[in-house]
Amino acid sequence: MKRLQTVITFLLLLFATAGHAQTQTLAGFTNFNKKAITPIYEGNEVKGYTMFYHADKADKRNDNYGLDFFDQNLQKVKSVMLPKERYYSHLLRSAYNGKAFSFYFYNSRRKTLEIDVFDKSLNKIATKQFANLSKADLSVALQELQTPGNGDNKPLSGLNIYPVPDMGFVRNGYTGMMKGFLLEMYDNNLNLKWTSASDDKSKDYESLLVNEVTDKYILATVARRPNMLSKKLTFSMVAFDVVTGKKLLDMGVERDGNRQLSVSSFSFDDKKSEFIMMGEFYGPEDKAIVDKSQGFFVKRVGLDGKEKVAKFYAWDKDVNPLLPQNAKKSLDEGFVNFVHKIVRGADGKQHIVAEQYKVKADGVGIALAVLGGGTSTAKGVIGNMMIYKLDSDLNLEGVHFFEKDQTECFLPPGSGFYGAGLIGLVINMTGGFNYQFTQEENTQTSFNTAYINYREVKKSKYWEKTLVNIMYAGEGDLKTDKVDVTSSKETFSYVYPAKPGYVLVLDSQLEEKKLEMKLVKLNK
């Protein structure tokens, strides 16, 4: 099984300077996942990185997992090793909360879960094991191990660990035979702070997907169905108090008068102490994903669960007049928006960073499904980048459109039942989008967003890959800086935030078993 971590046999560090980019080559890698590297921040500025990987043998029974720390100039500062039982230890997730790193393992022989926590200096803080797992948790763990793909292609409701800023970590589990969900909050020393679970008296089956964790709230989407095998799902936005675990909000969002709603973003505005829901709306008899949406909406909800503001923007009336002709085409083709980031400026205005996607039938998947194979019958298609600008009253001021080549991505079996909003979350979780990151300045007056445009060169072993950095520095048009990062099809490119004025570009060259990391200076 391909895991979240990199697989490595040895490290060879070669430092060189070429123009404005410092390059480092790490040899011996046969697999790499973008989440293996974690930027370390102070405020909104990157001060270094950690890299987690599967290393060489520790002894006859154990393998080493390595954890390296690099400074903001890519100089390696420190390395530590975690010995884990060979063949049976599987990394499920990793997380960073601003003060500590956590690594979540499953041991398939002992049937236990284990969390290791390190501080920012890579000193080990705590370890905790979870034995006597429920049958539901064991079943989900088995699904995790059997899921194909690069390690990101995990079940939507898998075993996860979520970082709580500075305070600790939340892990999820399951009650009954997958009838309900369980959340547990631990501090950085892995002391249990609270437990929250589905009501065992409820007749509904509930599953939960966390959307966002802040220092105040855990925001999630809950799907409910009348029985385990039912395909009739209803969705609600829920919020838990991060200190107590108490559920504060449980709001159904599928209807608004005659409109059907599909939520793709659920976040918290700390300045106004309000929840923000965003998504697309459809006609009363439409089917999300199958039929074209009529527009997008933004809702603000108070801590008491009462709706404060609801704004609906129709494609034809409100959005299209602000778009170039080539942008209108993608909307006519049924693409919808996934919100990657909402940037709230010091002036109260908001920039909504979104990427288009849609679902199409996968002929191979359909054939395998007919033959009894457990495969997906659909795949995701990734479209253009869009940045919507709203004023402080949520009125639409403008739309910035960035055209890029379409790419396709894997969708896990059963994704078609999730609805438009959750399918976007699935694509995001499985690394299917071309968006890389958004980085804000501490002044909250400027930001930059990066994505990669992939263009296949036919009858060639190469992709044309262009790193596009979108920059906003106050009023006026957004500017772009483009960097050619073309490489062979066997090379996967990833981009990370870096020190001011730079981005980190990493090329994973699987055939040559090496990684190349370089700091690339941006033109502003």
The percentage of residues in the chain with a pLDDT greater than 90, rounded to a whole number, is 31
**Amino acid symbol at 310:** A
Q: How far apart are alpha carbons 184 and 191 in whole angstroms?
A: 10
Beta strand segments in 370-524, E: 378-390, 396-402, 407-410, 435-440, 447-456, 462-472, 479-484, 487-488, 491-497, 502-509, 514-521
Average pLDDT over residues 15-43: 66
Which range, of 39-53, 237-251, 396-410, averages the lowest pLDDT?
39-53
Please tell me which residue, 169 or 91, carries the higher pLDDT value: 169
Run of H or E residues at 141: helix 135-146
Q: What is the pLDDT of residue 5?
A: 37
Q: What is the pLDDT of residue 464?
A: 85
Residue 109 predicted with pLDDT over 90: yes
- Read off the pLDDT band of 313 (50, 70, 90): very high
Which range, of 160-174, 262-276, 476-490, averages the lowest pLDDT?
476-490
Q: In what order do the strands lie in the sheet with 100-107?
A: 89-96, 100-107, 112-119, 124-130
Please tell me which residue, 519 or 491, carries the higher pLDDT value: 519
Q: What is the pLDDT of residue 85?
A: 92
Q: What is the pLDDT of residue 417?
A: 60
Q: How many CB atoms lie within 10 A of CB 146?
A: 10
Backbone CA torsion sign across 163, 299, 239, 137: negative
Q: What is the pLDDT of residue 6?
A: 35
Please tell me which residue, 325 or 282, carries the higher pLDDT value: 282
Q: What is the pLDDT of residue 157?
A: 61
HEC assignment per residue over 404-425: CCCEEEECCCCHHHCCHHHHHH
Please tell me which residue, 220 or 229, carries the higher pLDDT value: 220
The answer to whether 492 touches 485, Cβ cutoff 8 Å, is: no
Q: How far apart are alpha carbons 507 and 516 in whole angstroms?
A: 5
The answer to whether 11 touches 24, Cβ cutoff 8 Å, is: no
- Read off the pLDDT band of 130 (50, 70, 90): very high
- Read off the pLDDT band of 147 (50, 70, 90): low
Strands 45-57 and 6-8: parallel
Please tell me which residue, 262 or 242, carries the higher pLDDT value: 242
Q: In order of start, what are the domains of the chain with their CATH numbers?
A: 103-252 (2.40.128)
How many CA atoms within 13 Å lie on the side-chain side of 72?
A: 13
- Read off the pLDDT band of 383 (50, 70, 90): very high
Please tell me which residue, 510 or 463, carries the higher pLDDT value: 463
Q: How far apart are alpha carbons 468 and 462 in whole angstroms?
A: 19
Tokens, residue 465: 């890959």
Q: What is the pLDDT of residue 476?
A: 66
Query: Which residues fall within 8 angstroms of residue 414, CB to CB, at 6 or more apart?
Result: 376
pTM here is 0.81
**Amino acid symbol at 386:** M
pLDDT digits (tens, 9 = 90+) for 255-305: 777 888 888 888 998 888 999 998 889 888 887 666 788 999 999 999 988
How many CA atoms within 13 Å lie on the side-chain side of 32?
A: 24
HEC assignment per residue over 420-438: HHHHHHHHHHCCCCCEEEE
Please tell me which residue, 302 or 423, carries the higher pLDDT value: 302
The alpha carbon of residue 223 and the mean position of all alpha carbons in its chain are separated, in whole angstroms, by 19
CA distances from 308 to 88, 178, 272, 305, 461 (A): 51, 35, 11, 9, 53
Q: What is the pLDDT of residue 354?
A: 93
**Amino acid symbol at 488:** S
Q: What number of H helices and E strands is found in the chain? A: 4, 38
Q: What is the pLDDT of residue 105?
A: 92
Tokens, residue 3: 């895991």
Q: In what order do the strands lie in the sheet with 274-282?
A: 255-256, 259-269, 274-282, 295-301, 307-314
Q: How far apart are alpha carbons 25 and 208 in whole angstroms?
A: 40
Residue 127 predicted with pLDDT over 70: yes
Q: How far apart are alpha carbons 333 and 410 in whole angstroms?
A: 20
pLDDT digits (tens, 9 = 90+) for 386-413: 999 998 888 999 899 999 999 988 887 6
Q: What is the pLDDT of residue 361?
A: 67
CA distances from 51 to 24, 58, 76, 142 (A): 13, 19, 10, 26
Q: What is the pLDDT of residue 164?
A: 96
Which range, of 14-23, 270-279, 455-464, 498-507, averages the lowest pLDDT?
14-23
**Amino acid symbol at 521:** K
pLDDT digits (tens, 9 = 90+) for 331-350: 788 888 888 998 888 778 88
Q: What is the pLDDT of residue 250?
A: 92
The answer to whether 114 touches 129, Cβ cutoff 8 Å, is: yes
- Read off the pLDDT band of 10 (50, 70, 90): very low
Q: What is the pLDDT of residue 500?
A: 83
Tokens, residue 207: 């599953």
- Read off the pLDDT band of 217 (50, 70, 90): very high
Q: What is the pLDDT of residue 347?
A: 79
Average pLDDT along the chain? 82
Which range, of 120-129, 370-379, 455-464, 483-492, averages the lowest pLDDT?
370-379
Q: What is the pLDDT of residue 100?
A: 94
Tokens, residue 342: 């909402």
Average pLDDT over residues 215-237: 86
